[in-house]
């Protein structure tokens, strides 16, 4: 089976407090986008996991969420099998786009079909919750308000159509560091003007600590907001990707981004994925 694993953007992200379990209580609106990894997966008799990835920087061992998802699925159904998984990465790592989480969820969905395990979406989401906070979202890959650690999903209904340009500098932002730094960062307004997609107010509490440390990111965001093709711009998740909501041509804007900030900047035109 070949399956798509879509990226996501956080249209709104509020951090409410730190929980007793060490995680943070969040309230976030996430939307899948048309940028996606592609996963080839096969199942054989026997036992074991074979994992290969087109990106040599991504580990192809038991530290990969995909590997852990396959192990968790086998434990859940109580069945031994051998699986071969090939990841073709289009979503950059450390980008705040949920690539690794989406890959893990896609593998669970694929194994459920290939092995005819007939687990429900709720049961698959429960497996996901044991692997990572935002992984349950990707089982359905539909716009959702995510609460708790991110595992409590409330369908958000259809979102306004939007074309996006994703912009990522050549460095990741560690998610754990960003959440830890949030507790001690200053809370200065990053924008004098509120930004919206339809009636959705765009926000991201993690911009405060991330922008304090990675000064290129607020520079890119401010520059994007000033461009005529852009109606709004925001960081996704813990970064380092920024997304611009477009009312103009993505290709011309991407060319100017690279001309202004360097050819090492990664860009990708995409759109919010329809349900």
Q: Return the CATH number of 2-155, one of 3.30.230.10, 3.90.1150.10, 3.30.360.10, 3.40.640.10.
A: 3.30.230.10
Active site residue 8: yes
**Distances in Å between the alpha carbon of 223 and those of 3, 210, 232, 234?**
36, 17, 11, 12
Residues of the chain with CATH 3.30.230.10: 2-155
Q: What is the pLDDT of residue 81?
A: 96
CATH classification code of 163-271: 3.30.70.890
**For residue 190, pLDDT beyond 60:** no
Q: Average pLDDT, stretch 208-227? A: 97
* Integer Cα distance of 84 and 41 in angstroms: 6
**40 annotated active-site:** no
Beta strands in the chain (DSSP E): 2-18, 24-44, 48-53, 82-88, 144-148, 152-155, 163-168, 196-197, 200-201, 203-204, 230-235, 242-246, 266-271
CB 195 within 8 A of CB 202: yes
Q: Percent of the chain, pLDDT > 90? A: 87
- Which residue of the set 8, 168, 221, 273 is catalytic? 8
What predicted TM-score, i.e. pTM, was given to this entire model? 0.94
In the chain, CATH 3.30.70.890 sits at 163-271
> What pLDDT, on a 0 to 100 scale, did the predictor assign at position 121?
97
141-164 pLDDT, tens digit per residue, is 999 999 998 889 999 988 999 999
Q: Can you spell out the DSSP letters for 131-164? A: T-TTTTHHHHTS-EEEEETTTEEEE--PPPP-EE
Q: Which of 37, 103, 134, 205 is catalytic?
A: 134
Model pLDDT for residues 64-87, shown as the tens digit of each residue: 999 999 999 999 999 999 999 999
pLDDT at 105: 98
Percent of the chain with pLDDT over 70: 98
Residue 80 structure tokens = 């031994």
Residue 275 pLDDT: 74
- Contact assessment for residue 258 and residue 224, using Cβ atoms and an 8 Å cutoff: no
């Amino acid at each position: 089976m070949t399956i798509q694993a879509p990226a996501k953007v956080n249209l709104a992200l509020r951090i409410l407090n730190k929980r007793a379990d060490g995680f943070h209580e969040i309230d976030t609106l996430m939307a899948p986008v048309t940028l996606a990894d592609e996963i080839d997966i096969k199942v054989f008799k026997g036992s074991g996991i074979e994992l290969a990835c087109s990106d040599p920087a991504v580990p192809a061992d038991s530290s990969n969420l995909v590997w852990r998802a396959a192990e968790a699925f086998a434990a859940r159904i109580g069945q031994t099998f051998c699986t071969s998984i090939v990841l073709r990465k289009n979503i950059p790592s450390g980008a705040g786009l949920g690539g690794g989480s989406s890959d893990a969820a896609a593998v669970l969905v694929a194994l459920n079909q290939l092995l005819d395990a007939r687990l429900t979406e709720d049961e698959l989401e429960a497996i996901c919750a044991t692997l990572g906070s935002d992984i349950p979202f990707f089982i359905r890959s539909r716009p959702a308000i995510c609460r708790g650690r991110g595992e409590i999903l409330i369908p958000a209904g259809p979102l306004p159509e939007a074309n996006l340009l994703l912009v990522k500098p050549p460095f990741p932002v560690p998610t754990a560091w960003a959440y830890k730094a949030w507790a001690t960062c200053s809370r200065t307004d990053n924008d004098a003007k509120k930004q919206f997609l339809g009636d959705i107010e765009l926000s991201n509490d993690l911009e405060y600590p991330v922008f304090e440390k990675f000064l290129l990111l607020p520079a890119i965001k401010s520059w994007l907001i000033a461009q005529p093709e852009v109606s709004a711009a925001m960081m996704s998740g813990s970064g380092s990707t920024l997304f611009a909501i477009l009312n103009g041509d993505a290709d011309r804007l991407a060319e100017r981004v690279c001309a202004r900030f360097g050819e090492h900047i990664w860009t990708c035109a995409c759109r919010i994925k329809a349900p």
